[in-house]
Amino acid sequence: MDKLPKVALPFIIAIVVLVVIITKSAVTIDSGQAGVLYKTFGGGVVTDEAPMGEGFHIVAPWNKVYVYEVRQQELTERMKVLSSNGLDIQLEATAWYMPEFKDLGKLHQEKGASYLDRVLKPAIRSATRSVVGRYTPEQIYSSKRDAIQAEIFDETKKIVSDQYVNLVEVLVRDVTLPTAIKDAIERKLGQEQESLEYEFRLVTAQKEAEKQIIEAEGKARANTILSQSLTDKILQDKGIEATIKLSESSNSKIIVIGSGDSGMPIILGNQ
């Protein structure tokens, strides 16, 4: 093989250098990520410009780009905390969070890539201990779960409000009490449920009794009104009507008119 002409050597070197520069300068940011630019000779971290978005970017080879995930992320913490009466409680909480996009440069400059350990974890642990310490184990286990979850979210959000982290939600996923305490609470809740059922049965029985009394009183009043409205004349008229109907019947009979104490017919027959 013939040797390359000396004049071509500089071009080859230039091409190699250009390829190296492009390789060092090319930055590709994936979906759900953003880049923070660090200028080696230009003041360090860029905080007064928007972060680099998704896609292909060319930067000076002496500068650096730090890539962060900016989509919603999840942090699950299992903690041992104390209730208001000093009992140990195991609590598992999940936080949904994301870095503030517009402040990503400040987050990198002040907190760094490990901001999760430096900011969010201590905040949620502190807020959880503070909130749970206000409640008894029974409240935590049963009636106050939603309130505790909301308070942990509010206090954690307050702590991280100026830390360039956006807290979306906090979920209390599991509460584990000491076995003896849990059994005692479940027995108490069971007794309360039985008491409520007994009270319900008493109320139902009382209402049924009241209903029967009202019905009986109504019938008594109706009978009283009916008896007061039935005069001797009305009874005689009713008797005459009944006698006429019986006389028209095909059954054999004997009708004696005016033989009763009230002058009503007496009917004798084989039926």
pLDDT score for 1: 45
The band of 124, judged by pLDDT with boundaries at 50, 70 and 90, is very high
Indicate whether 240 and 225 sit together in one domain: no
Look up the pTM and report it. 0.61
Q: What number is the average pLDDT over the span 134-141?
A: 81
Domain hosting residue 186, numbered range: 181-229
Within a domain: 1: no
C-alpha 27/C-alpha 64 separation (Å) is 9
Within a domain: 210: yes
Lowest-pLDDT range, 3-12, 45-54, 250-259? Answer: 250-259
Alpha helical stretches, state H, 136-178: 137-141, 145-160
Indicate whether 53 and 144 sit together in one domain: no
pLDDT score for 45: 93
Within a domain: 214: yes
Indicate whether 221 and 241 sit together in one domain: no
Within a domain: 148: yes
Of 51, 69, 87, at which residue does a domain stop? Answer: 69
- Structural domain total, the chain: 4
C-alpha 28/C-alpha 26 separation (Å) is 7
Rounded to 5°, angle at Cα 92 from 90 and 96:
160
Indicate whether 159 and 190 sit together in one domain: no
Indicate whether 77 and 133 sit together in one domain: yes
Largest Cα–Cα separation, the chain: 159
